[in-house]
Amino acid sequence: MEEIKKKDIRALTREQLREFFVSNGDKAFRGNQVYEWLWQKAAYSFDVMTNLSKETREMLEANFVINHIKVDLMQRSSDGTIKNAVRLHDDLIVESVLIPTKSRTTACVSSQVGCSLDCRFCATSRLKRMRNLNPDEIYDQVVAIDNESRLYFERPLSNIVFMGMGEPLMNYNNVLKAIDKITSPDGLGMSPKRITVSTSGVPKLIKKMADDEVKFKLAVSLHSAIDEIRTSIMPFNAKFTLSDLRESLVYWYEKTRSRITYEYVVWDGINDAQKDVDALVEFCRFAPSKVNLIEYNPIDDGEFKQASNAAIDRYVNTLEKNNIVVTVRRSRGKDIDAACGQLANKS
């Protein structure tokens, strides 16, 4: 006899779970109980659902699976950063990172296995995009890092950034569903203001986020405000040009009134001239913004090199002179390939 293919129970809504119990001759509120176990308590097996009878747990086991992630390998950096190699139910691997500071812990989570885009300076873009992550797989990464934060730093996770593997907006629906669960009182109950989604810039989806009235923060991985240079390092820019990106960000700001953060790496001989700084200032003018200048983390082949301190100072001075908030970010977790742009399943 052919085995029944079990459904992923976390793909069901609360209402669908209630209907399942009613159609099986049980009470609707059982669906609420199971939903609470799955999302608030992040249960990874039906056996732990102790307020359900053994028969009910067996019925769930017969019909459903919980496609829970497994942390295959956890590495700790000398600076306290933790990198998880996360095995998915189909044996694919993604990576997520816990970044601790004195006052908070941040989870850097992945949204795709591999990446849809082709940034030449990023290790993840060299991996073939295998698939999008499901909402529960994104959620599980956050739960795993929250548990590590409590265990190793004695405090709950405080912030989440979608800056791991993949382009979050190319997995739009699942990322928004995951954030909905993470921020819902029925889930982890985190404030959306503590979540930042970082995109390389997909204009129509930035507009869609604005229309969907999302409450989380937006960061744009910019790296150049000159089309020719940006296309040379981020080839998809030929399709999603800076003028289209800027138009979508104007739309975002008009709708949300939410400040835009630009992530920006300065490379030697690529975008370290005064004309590059001036173009960035001009690009930022239309809305309140903040620029994070990020230290570059080499990915082996040496084509991209960190710019000189003088070049970084030129950026900082020019941006500050034009009243644009700027911070210089030192990378964390470089010794375990956990830093920005280094996630490539090497471990």
% of the chain beyond a pLDDT of 90 = 80
- Helical ranges in 129-262 per DSSP H: 135-153, 172-183, 203-211, 227-233, 242-256
User: What pLDDT digit, counting tens, does each position of 172-220 carry?
Assistant: 999 999 999 999 999 999 999 999 999 999 999 999 999 999 999 999 9
Query: Does pLDDT of 335 surpass 80?
Result: no
Known binding-site residues for [4Fe-4S] cluster equal 115, 119, 122
Range with lowest mean pLDDT among 58-67, 72-81, 194-203, 263-272: 72-81
Mean pLDDT of the 31-46 span: 95
Structure token digits, residue 131: 């698939």
Q: Of 212-216, 305-309, 332-336, which has the strongest mean pLDDT?
A: 212-216
Which letter does DSSP use for residue 325 in this model?
E
- Cβ atoms 311, 91 nearer than 8 A: no
Residue identified by tokens 């977790």 is 333
Q: Please tell me if the domain spanning 7-65 has the same topology as the one spanning 70-336.
A: no
Predicted confidence at residue 313, as pLDDT, reads 94
Predicted confidence at residue 347, as pLDDT, reads 47
Mean pLDDT of the 331-338 span: 56
Mean pLDDT of the 52-73 span: 94
Rounded alpha-carbon distances, angstroms, from residue 112 to 140, 161, 233: 14, 14, 21
Predicted confidence at residue 345, as pLDDT, reads 47
- Residues with Cβ within 8 Å of residue 263, at least 6 apart in sequence: 163, 198, 219, 220, 221, 222, 223, 292, 294
User: If DSSP codes are grouped into helix, strand and coil, which group holds residue 181?
Assistant: helix
Residues belonging to the active site:
95, 340
Known binding-site residues for S-adenosyl-L-methionine equal 166-167, 198, 221-223, 297
Predicted confidence at residue 162, as pLDDT, reads 97
Predicted confidence at residue 232, as pLDDT, reads 94
Known binding-site residues equal 115, 119, 122, 166-167, 198, 221-223, 297
CATH 3.20.20.70 is right for the domain spanning 70-336: yes
Which CATH architecture best describes the domain 7-65? Orthogonal Bundle (1.10)
Domain boundaries, the chain: 7-65, 70-336
User: If DSSP codes are grouped into helix, strand and coil, which group holds residue 87?
Assistant: strand
- Residues with Cβ within 8 Å of residue 315, at least 6 apart in sequence: 264, 266, 277, 280, 291, 293, 326
Query: Does pLDDT of 2 surpass 80?
Result: no
Identify the residue with better confidence: 5 or 172.
172
User: What pLDDT digit, counting tens, does each position of 87-99 carry?
Assistant: 999 999 999 999 9
Mean pLDDT of the 46-71 span: 94
Cα–Cα distance, 185 to 135 (Å, whole number): 16
Cα–Cα distance, 70 to 140 (Å, whole number): 9
- State the pTM of this model: 0.90
- Residues with Cβ within 8 Å of residue 47, at least 6 apart in sequence: 57
Three-class HEC string of 208-221: HHHHCCCCCEEEEE
Predicted confidence at residue 1, as pLDDT, reads 36
Residue 305's pLDDT band (cuts 50, 70, 90): confident
Structure token digits, residue 210: 């604005």
Mean pLDDT of the 141-159 span: 95
Mean pLDDT of the 7-35 span: 95
Structure token digits, residue 159: 């912030």
